Amino acid sequence: MALRFKNCSMLTPKTTCQPQRAQYFIRLISGNGHSIFNGTAGKFPTQQVALPSCALPLTVKNSLIFSASGCHRSIHEVATKTLNPKNFSDIPGPKPLPLIGNTLLFFTHKDFDLNNVQKFWESITREYGGIVKLKVFGAPTMVVTTSPDDVEILYKSTMEDPRRIGFECLKAVRDHNKDNFFNKKTGLLTEHGEEWWRVRSRVQAPLLRPRSVAMYLPAVDGATKKFMNRIDLLQEGTGQVPPDFLHELHKWALECVGLIALNRELGCLDPGLRQDSFPMQLVASANAFFNAATEAEIGFPAWMFYRTKPYVRLETHHDAFLALAIEAIKEAEDRLQEVTSSQDPHRRLSIMETLLSTDGLNRSDVATIILDLLLAGIETTANALGFTLYLLARHPQEQRRLQETVDSVVGDASAPLTPQHLAAIPGLGHVLRETLRLYPLVFGSSRILCSDVVMSGYRVPAGTLVLSLQSVISQQEEFFPEAKKFLPQRWDRDRPFGPMHPFASLPFSHGTRMCVGRRIAEQQIFTFLVRVLQKYTVRFEHQEEMRVKSQFTLKPETPLTFTFAPRA
């Protein structure tokens, strides 16, 4: 029988002078703290064991840590690779040119396409293997991996200083704000190190604590019910929603995130809105904001040399949203004053009011948080929901199964939805997890290593930029049997398809820098699924496979012309 460890198990070297020949004393500790194996490196148990998938050589303590995971692997195999790592220079990859390294590859590779970035990376790992080294001009040496063991090492070894790449253009826009509003402190998405942690440590609880997110459930439910009525309007006469239905989902997502980030109903779902109305302008601006950020951030960073068109557009729409954020902050400050003077002990503060009353956060910090929530929280939720509806529509059995649970747990469609209802329908989470396994919105996750580690049997030095390819890992048969199939029940608590590597599908990332909007996104998507399945059966008549666009986030490219058939 396989051994299972919950906690870390430790390997302590007896001698440290020559790692290859060092004698390691090994102690494996089980979840309940009992010692399971004591011995030296030469006497590893050779049977398959169920946890130690990852070995982290922590240079500080010069010890190896096997941490708890979930896949079957021989300790011997892991330890041998880790104790005798191959050189960094031996990692396969395209031959770099002097000075510019592999930069030209991005312009010349047959699969490089700015509309499908994922395809390029998948092709590179097919050509060179599961771990690849690249050198790009002006950036640290890069290692790309498709091993979940490496992902575990990556996240755990960078837990205290999770630096990633991206959002440099957004940072530039904030740094060069004409009023110096941000004072070079540009927020969660863009900062690193202590400045990032200053903000993150203060927003963590208000944004991720289930209780504070649940406070918005009635309002999110209200917006979602409005959207259900909108569906009837949208498919009137044709029996199916129009090809730009994804744009409709964006409006719904903006309305929902606005409830939290701006603390107000924006009115994006009101019927009969004119193009020049405030909500419609806002919807257009949110789209333009995201598209400009995408254009500026991916591909060659020409904005570093001159004010490119995407840079100027990003600046314009960013400033429009900044004005809105400042207005919302003023309103929240006035309300806070009223709360203080009325001294009502039962009045619960909104998330924005909580942030404004938090020591160590000032108005411009709160403004960056609002802007980041708007930038990161619309497209992501809408796209994830688009993929989920598509998969449910293509798998009527799975849809029926979820519908039946929704009916039995929530019952009457006119009754208010509660956090207890959502918690009692684990199928909602399973469907979303499976959707994001098949369509991971973020194709890869990056970190800059802060210590030397061993990945896939190679020593990788501190300072290396490591990119883990979630889109490849989460579709490997080795980690997900019948990987191409939509099987939400694989996430059931008893894991009917066998144990799963906990680092093989992490759509919201992991650790201290994981998505701070995860609970907000889940609550919105679950609410939508409950309300839509109560009222309709979703169908997608077209047989073609989903085409996707992979830029900043993965996006459905096939028009989402669903039929929402009213239930009898």
Min dist. Cβ of residue 384 to ligand HEM (A): 4
Tell me how far apart the alpha carbons of residues 328 and 332 are, in angstroms, rounded to a whole number. Answer: 6
Min dist. Cβ of residue 255 to ligand HEM (A): 13
Which is nearest to 158 in space by CA: 566, 423, 401, 512? 512
Which is nearest to 293 in space by CA: 319, 316, 311? 311
Tell me how far apart the alpha carbons of residues 321 and 283 are, in angstroms, rounded to a whole number. Answer: 11
Q: Counting contacts by CB under 6 A, is residue 10 touching ligand HEM?
A: no
Q: Which stretch binds ligand HEM (CB under 6 A): 34-42, 130-138, 296-304, 437-445?
A: 437-445
> In this structure, how many other beta carbons lie within 10 angstroms of the beta carbon of residue 10?
16
Which residues lie closer than 8 Å to 519 by C-beta, 6 or more apart? 207, 208, 209, 210, 213
Query: Closer to ligand HEM at the Cβ: 93 or 444?
Result: 444
Structure tokens at 373: 């929530």
Q: Note whether 473 and 146 are within 8 A (CB).
A: yes
Structure tokens at 552: 């900043």
Q: Counting contacts by CB under 6 A, is residue 387 touching ligand HEM?
A: no
- φ/ψ (deg, to 5) at 134: -135, 150
Min dist. Cβ of residue 298 to ligand HEM (A): 16
Q: Counting contacts by CB under 6 A, is residue 192 touching ligand HEM?
A: no
Q: Counting contacts by CB under 6 A, is residue 164 touching ligand HEM?
A: yes
Min dist. Cβ of residue 368 to ligand HEM (A): 10
From candidates 54, 56, 105, 189, binder to ligand HEM by CB under 6 A: 189
Q: Counting contacts by CB under 6 A, is residue 516 touching ligand HEM?
A: yes
Min dist. Cβ of residue 516 to ligand HEM (A): 4
Binding mask 224-263 for ligand HEM (x = CB under 6 A): ---------------------------------x------
Task: Indicate the residue whose CB is closest to ligand HEM.
Answer: 517
Dihedral over alpha carbons 207, 212, 214, 220 (to 10 degrees): -60
The amino acid sitting at 227 is F
Which residues lie closer than 8 Å to 231 by C-beta, 6 or more apart? 241, 532, 536, 564
Query: Closer to ligand HEM at the Cβ: 457 or 517?
Result: 517
3-state SS assignment for residue 107: helix
Query: Closer to ligand HEM at the Cβ: 320 or 514?
Result: 514
Q: Counting contacts by CB under 6 A, is residue 443 touching ligand HEM?
A: no
Min dist. Cβ of residue 204 to ligand HEM (A): 9
Tell me how far apart the alpha carbons of residues 15 and 21 are, in angstroms, rounded to a whole number. Answer: 9
> What is the total residue count of the chain?
568
8 known member of a binding site: no
- The DSSP H or E segment spanning 328 is helix 309-342
Q: Note whether 327 and 320 are within 8 A (CB).
A: no
Tell me how far apart the alpha carbons of residues 353 and 205 are, in angstroms, rounded to a whole number. Answer: 14
Query: Closer to ligand HEM at the Cβ: 296 or 436?
Result: 436
Q: Which stretch binds ligand HEM (CB under 6 A): 3-11, 146-154, 170-178, 378-386?
A: 378-386
Query: Closer to ligand HEM at the Cβ: 439 or 562?
Result: 439
Q: Which stretch binds ligand HEM (CB under 6 A): 121-129, 233-241, 380-388, 491-499?
A: 380-388
Query: Closer to ligand HEM at the Cβ: 514 or 565?
Result: 514
Residues near ligand HEM (CB under 6 A), total = 26
Which is nearest to 54 in space by CA: 84, 92, 10, 86? 10
Min dist. Cβ of residue 11 to ligand HEM (A): 28
Q: Provide the 8-state DSSP code for 490.
A: G
From candidates 96, 148, 377, 457, binder to ligand HEM by CB under 6 A: 377
Min dist. Cβ of residue 373 to ligand HEM (A): 4
Beta-bridge partners for 131: 145
Query: Closer to ligand HEM at the Cβ: 186 or 509?
Result: 509
Q: Counting contacts by CB under 6 A, is residue 507 touching ligand HEM?
A: yes
Q: Counting contacts by CB under 6 A, is residue 376 touching ligand HEM?
A: yes
Query: Closer to ligand HEM at the Cβ: 91 or 521?
Result: 521
Buried b (16+ CB within 10 A) or exposed e, 29-46: bbeeeeeebeeebeebee
Query: Closer to ligand HEM at the Cβ: 257 or 296?
Result: 257
Q: Provide the 8-state DSSP code for 502.
A: T
3-state SS assignment for residue 462: coil
Q: Counting contacts by CB under 6 A, is residue 441 touching ligand HEM?
A: yes
Tell me how far apart the alpha carbons of residues 82 and 66 are, in angstroms, rounded to a whole number. Answer: 10
Q: Counting contacts by CB under 6 A, is residue 442 touching ligand HEM?
A: yes
Q: Counting contacts by CB under 6 A, is residue 381 touching ligand HEM?
A: yes
Query: Closer to ligand HEM at the Cβ: 26 or 203?
Result: 203
From candidates 520, 532, 538, 548, binder to ligand HEM by CB under 6 A: 520
Cα torsion angle, 285, 291, 293, 296, sign: negative
Tell me how far apart the alpha carbons of residues 478 and 495 are, in angstroms, rounded to a whole number. Answer: 15
Give how far the C-alpha of residue 534 lies from the chain's centroid of Cα atoms, to the nearest Å: 28
Q: Counting contacts by CB under 6 A, is residue 188 touching ligand HEM?
A: yes
Query: Closer to ligand HEM at the Cβ: 285 or 381?
Result: 381
Binding residues for ligand HEM (CB under 6 A): 164, 188-189, 200, 257, 372-373, 376-377, 380-381, 384, 436, 441-442, 445, 507-509, 513-517, 520-521
The binding site for heme consists of 515
The binding site consists of 515
